[in-house]
Amino acid sequence: MKAAVLYGPRDLRLEDVAPPEMGPDDVLISVRSVGICGSDVHYLQSGRIGDFVVRDPMILGHETAGVVVDVGANVKGLRVGDRVAVEPGIPCRTCEPCKTGRYNLCPDVRFLATPPVDGSLCELIVSPADFAYKVPDHVTLDEAALIEPLSVGLHACRRGGVTAGSTVLITGAGPIGLTCVMTALAFGATRVFVTDLQEHRLRKAEELGATAALVVGKDDVREAVLELTEGRGVDVAIECSGAERALHTCVQAAKPGGRVVLVGLGADDLVTVPMVHVATKELDLVGIFRYVYTYPAAIELVSTGRIDMKKLITHRFPLEEVHKGFEYAEKGIDGAIKVMIEVG
Ligand SMILES: [Zn+2]
Ligand SMILES: [Zn+2]
């Protein structure tokens, strides 16, 4: 089968590889749509993310949807022909985080396109049946693939306690930041402020319903947020850019007793935090790692029209043009936000 295989930095090859083999609890999925994620771009650029290094050739891609073409002997609830969104992280199911319902923190989780696990930019993948979620007929496979990044926004808003009437600041308006905008609004947030360096992303944030879009470097973001909230600050600040300065903004703009959710990760592990604000305002700083059991809710939000992930899709390329797809995603060519690869 055809696959987009990463050999090392800047060495992505479209080549033929052996199809995967399935076990009795698995389904075999004909991949149809894969979203290019920032992490895929990062692996392409540097061959690593933190401690995860691409040592052996690895298929990229983890935002996946497709059609079930075979089911294992033990599988119930899925049939050949079902259209599914694929949750990419398979935990061990037996450790303490798994047993306590926080399987995203499983130390032995196997996550698509995270070395040494192959991803989904290929024609066929195998998934445990319970991590392949059937989507209704009217949900497109592009939307189904984007249940994955939507899950990040959902988990961030849950951990941040976003609720009806919340005022929320989101720093960074890439696909994840924009997803947080839509999710916060779907959770009932009434005012959502967004910051970014790039105007086209901010226009998109406004199109999605953001209350105010602030240009980093041009606007004094902290001042603007305080003004927009009559000096009160925001209930929840969600940091999606990975920039140290944006984290400062979040801490400074959060209300006393507010929450700051850390979604974006920068290159540096050690960054400065305005600790006096954290202490004197009793802020809760909340980390998030991927997501846990978000797919059913995310599929509901999309299938009922509460969230329209299609609005993030700007470009679409066939697998044969995967290099071009990555170039668009990496450089933001032609206003690229979310680039989809059509497989098969
Ligand atoms: Zn992703
Ligand atoms: Zn586990």
Q: Which residue in 177, 188, 113, 119 sits closest to 149, CA to CA?
A: 177
User: In this structure, are residues 311 and 203 in contact, taking their beta carbons and an 8 Å threshold?
Assistant: no
pLDDT at 50: 85
Cα separation of 72 and 189, whole Å?
43
Give pLDDT tens digits for 35-75: 999 999 999 999 999 889 999 999 999 999 999 999 999 99
Q: Report the separation in Å between the CA atom of 62 and the middle of ligand 1, taken as the mean of its atom positions.
A: 6
In a domain, 301, yes or no: no
Q: Are 128 and 25 contained in the same domain?
A: yes
CATH (domain of 225): 3.40.50.720
Q: Are 133 and 211 contained in the same domain?
A: no
Give pLDDT tens digits for 217-226: 888 999 999 9
Q: Are 159 and 264 contained in the same domain?
A: yes
Q: For residue 128, what are its two tokens? A: 């445990």
Question: Looking at residue 19, what DSSP letter applies?
Answer: P
Q: Report the separation in Å between the CA atom of 95 and the middle of ligand 2, taken as the mean of its atom positions.
A: 4
Q: Are 32 and 64 contained in the same domain?
A: yes
Q: Report the separation in Å between the CA atom of 23 and the middle of ligand 1, taken as the mean of its atom positions.
A: 26
pLDDT at 317: 98
Give pLDDT tens digits for 314-323: 999 999 999 9
Q: Are 103 and 159 contained in the same domain?
A: no
Place of tokens 């401690």: 51
Q: Which ligand is nearest to the CA of 119?
A: 1
In a domain, 294, yes or no: no
Q: Which ligand is nearest to the CA of 105?
A: 2
Q: Report the separation in Å between the CA atom of 61 and the middle of ligand 1, taken as the mean of its atom positions.
A: 8
Residue 217 φ/ψ region, left for φ over 0, alpha for ψ in the -120 to 50 degree band, beta for the rest = left
CATH (domain of 124): 3.90.180.10
pLDDT at 72: 98
Q: Are 163 and 184 contained in the same domain?
A: yes
For the stretch 302-329, what's the b/e string if a residue is b when 16 or more beta carbons lie within 10 angstroms of its beta carbon?
bbeeebebeebbbbebebeebeebbbbb
Average predicted confidence (pLDDT) for the chain: 97
pLDDT at 272: 95
DSSP string, 190-212: SEEEEEES-HHHHHHHHHTT-SE
Q: Which ligand is nearest to the CA of 39?
A: 1
In a domain, 273, yes or no: yes
Cα separation of 318 and 159, whole Å?
36
Give pLDDT tens digits for 78-124: 999 999 999 999 999 999 999 999 999 999 999 999 999 999 999 99
Q: Which ligand is nearest to the CA of 263?
A: 1
In a domain, 74, yes or no: yes
Cα separation of 179 and 25, whole Å?
32
Q: Are 162 and 282 contained in the same domain?
A: yes
pLDDT beyond 90 at 342: yes
Q: Report the separation in Å between the CA atom of 88 and the middle of ligand 2, taken as the mean of its atom positions.
A: 15
For helices 322-331 and 38-46, give the axis angle rounded to 10 degrees: 100
Q: Are 108 and 164 contained in the same domain?
A: no
Q: Are 218 and 116 contained in the same domain?
A: no
Domain around 244? 152-287
Q: Report the separation in Å between the CA atom of 92 and the middle of ligand 2, taken as the mean of its atom positions.
A: 4
Q: Report the separation in Å between the CA atom of 148 and the middle of ligand 1, taken as the mean of its atom positions.
A: 6
Q: State percent of the chain over pLDDT 70.
A: 100
In a domain, 299, yes or no: no
Q: Which ligand is nearest to the CA of 145?
A: 1
pLDDT at 177: 98
In a domain, 302, yes or no: no
In a domain, 229, yes or no: yes
Cα separation of 141 and 53, whole Å?
30
More confident residue, 144 or 269: 144
Q: Are 48 and 104 contained in the same domain?
A: yes
pLDDT at 51: 87
pLDDT at 70: 98
Q: For residue 197, what are its two tokens? A: 């360096």
Q: Are 135 and 196 contained in the same domain?
A: no
Helix (H, G, I), strand (E, B) or coil at 77: coil
Instruction: State the CB neighbour count (10 A cutoff) for residue 237.
Output: 30
Q: Report the separation in Å between the CA atom of 106 and the middle of ligand 2, taken as the mean of its atom positions.
A: 4
By the 10 Å C-beta count (0-12 exposed, 13-18 middle, 19+ buried), 229 is classed as: middle
Cα separation of 228 and 186, whole Å?
21
Q: Report the separation in Å between the CA atom of 27 and the middle of ligand 2, taken as the mean of its atom positions.
A: 21
In a domain, 300, yes or no: no
This prediction has a pTM of 0.96
Give residue 268's pLDDT band: very low, low, confident or very high (50, 70, 90).
confident
Averaged pLDDT, 139-151: 98
Q: Are 9 and 141 contained in the same domain?
A: yes
The protein residues having their C-beta less than 5 angstroms from ligand 2 (an ion) are 91-92, 95, 98, 106
Give residue 151's pLDDT band: very low, low, confident or very high (50, 70, 90).
very high
Q: Report the separation in Å between the CA atom of 149 and the middle of ligand 1, taken as the mean of its atom positions.
A: 5
How many domains in the chain?
A: 2
Q: Report the separation in Å between the CA atom of 22 and the middle of ligand 2, taken as the mean of its atom positions.
A: 21
Q: Report the separation in Å between the CA atom of 90 and the middle of ligand 2, taken as the mean of its atom positions.
A: 9
Give pLDDT tens digits for 200-215: 999 999 999 999 999 9
pLDDT beyond 90 at 6: yes
Q: Report the separation in Å between the CA atom of 303 and the middle of ligand 1, taken as the mean of its atom positions.
A: 20
Give pLDDT tens digits for 299-313: 999 999 999 999 999
Q: Which ligand is nearest to the CA of 36?
A: 1
Q: Which residue in 318, 317, 312 sits closest to 337, CA to CA?
A: 312
Q: Which ligand is nearest to the CA of 292?
A: 2
DSSP string, 229-292: TTT--EEEEEE-S--HHHHHHHHHHEEEEEEEEE----S-S-----HHHHHHTTPEEEE--S-S
Give residue 13's pLDDT band: very low, low, confident or very high (50, 70, 90).
very high
pLDDT at 267: 77
